[in-house]
Chains A and B, each alone.
Chain A
């Protein structure tokens, strides 16, 4: 079973920041938080991952709380092409178990 809880759906206005929350209260000390997204039943696309510190790359930022029990994926300027299902996963980096994710709709 997935060890994360995400809202089933969210809307975001185009050009605004999209903030996707994830709860992972049972995360173990050496488990990472990974984010993927899936567009139109293509293969999931890796976005970002982190262990303790906040991370940023060209796609997104990942904010992990100090107690590591929750995190937020931030898409700084959402576009229509960011409409997808976003998955938050906790893993040691071997078995990646997917939950239902959050369906993000970016609205014009």
Chain B
């Protein structure tokens, strides 16, 4: 248990659906991250938020829309996804200043 909670743990959605992934931490961290991990590939950093402001967007398609309403919560809104977007989506948080990041257990997303 890292203190970073992701819901749901598993999600199956059609290509025309709209769904959201949720990440929550009450560790007092001010930076939150979304990563994508496709099958047998390294983690890819998608988005970074610092103090609720987006500071990194690694050329992620607009069908992925992040939202950070406060320092404790991070969402990833999904719409019109493709089957190749099926992956493990991981959330992490850190305090910054050289401190380590802690990861949630991820959401296993399948797009059909």
Residues of A within 8 A of B (CB): 2, 30, 32, 34, 36, 41-46, 49, 51, 87, 92-101
Contact = CB atoms under 8 A, between A and B. Distances in A.
Contacts of A49: 98, 100
B48 to A, nearest CB: 6
B42 A101 contact: yes
Where chain A touches its partner, the secondary structure class is: loop
**Range class of the B interface residue count:** 20 to 34
Interface of B: 2, 4, 31, 33, 35, 37, 42-45, 48, 50, 55-56, 88, 90, 92, 94, 96-106
B43 to A, nearest CB: 4
A43 B2 contact: yes
A32 B106 CA distance: 25
Contact of A97 (B45, B55, B98, B103): B45
Nearest to A98: B43
A94 B50 contact: yes
B45 A96 contact: yes
Given A41-B88, A99-B42, A101-B42, A94 B94 contact: yes
Contacts of A94: 31, 48, 50, 55, 94, 96
A44 B96 contact: no
A46 B42 contact: no
B32 to A, nearest CB: 11
20 contacts: A30-B98, A34-B100, A41-B88, A41-B106, A43-B2, A44-B43, A44-B90, A49-B100, A51-B98, A93-B94, A93-B97, A93-B100, A94-B31, A94-B48, A94-B50, A94-B96, A96-B94, A98-B44, A98-B45, A99-B42
Contacts of A43: 2, 4, 90, 92, 103-106
A93 B42 contact: no
A97 B55 CA distance: 15
B33 A96 contact: yes
Nearest to B102: A46
A92 B42 contact: no
Nearest to A50: B98
